[in-house]
Amino acid sequence: MSDIVEYAFVRRSSVSGELHTLQIAMTAEQYAELQRSDRRHVQELLPQCTDAEREFLITGITPEEWTALTKGNKENGNDDQEPEHQAPRSHEEILEALHKLFDQVWYDRQQLLAQDIKDPETRAVSLEAARSLEAKYPKGDLGPWDDFQWGMLNGKLSALRWVLGDKWDTLDT
């Protein structure tokens, strides 16, 4: 691994629209990977960086802008609170959510298509699979969905699949 060097990063703040510069220490290998579009998450790539440095790299928001956004804002319940930084979701959490979304989308489609299944054996298998999901999830977790909720389910499913390496818009349930 190479020596740690200070690199100057210029980012446009997603809050103010202003350009800001920040010096961040990293290796040449980390800097090279940071420039790639298919890189790891900043949290994984730069574990030595502070939350504020990683936030700057992602959004261009400076610590001062975070403070202005979050401190003393009683209307939003953020009176003198520091911004909350959550760790990235684990691979297991992502897979669990992906499987549930897949099941929800499949169940809804199955409900629509089951009435058109002519073969009694195929229809029985389909209905049994639906019953197993009804036993697996609470009643409200399987719909019915309005157009907005249906779009949210499919969008989340597409995004999680993308995170795990699929192409965008892969909704082949």
Contacts of 122 (CB under 8 A, 6+ apart): none
Give the Cβ contact number of residue 60 at 10 Å.
Answer: 21
DSSP state of 137: S
Per-residue confidence band for 9, with pLDDT thresholds at 50, 70 and 90: very high
| Residue 27: band (very low, low, confident or very high) from pLDDT cuts 50, 70, 90 | very high
Query: Do residues 169 and 155 make contact, with C-beta atoms less than 8 angstroms apart?
Result: no
Mean pLDDT score of the chain, rounded to an integer? Answer: 85
0.75 exceeded by pTM? no
One-letter identity of residue 93: E
119-149 pLDDT, tens per residue?
Answer: 999 989 999 999 999 999 998 899 888 889 9
Confidence band for 95, pLDDT divided at 50, 70 and 90: very high
List Cβ neighbours of 126 (8 Å cut-off, separation of 6 or more): 110, 113, 114, 117
Q: Identify whether the C-beta of residue 15 lies closer than 8 Å to the C-beta of residue 65.
A: yes
Structure token pair of residue 164 = 């795990």
Q: Residue for token digits 């298919």?
A: 38
Within 10 Å of residue 82's Cβ, how many Cβ atoms? 11
pLDDT category at 48 given cuts 50, 70, 90 is: very high
Domain segments of the chain: what residues?
Answer: 4-76, 91-163
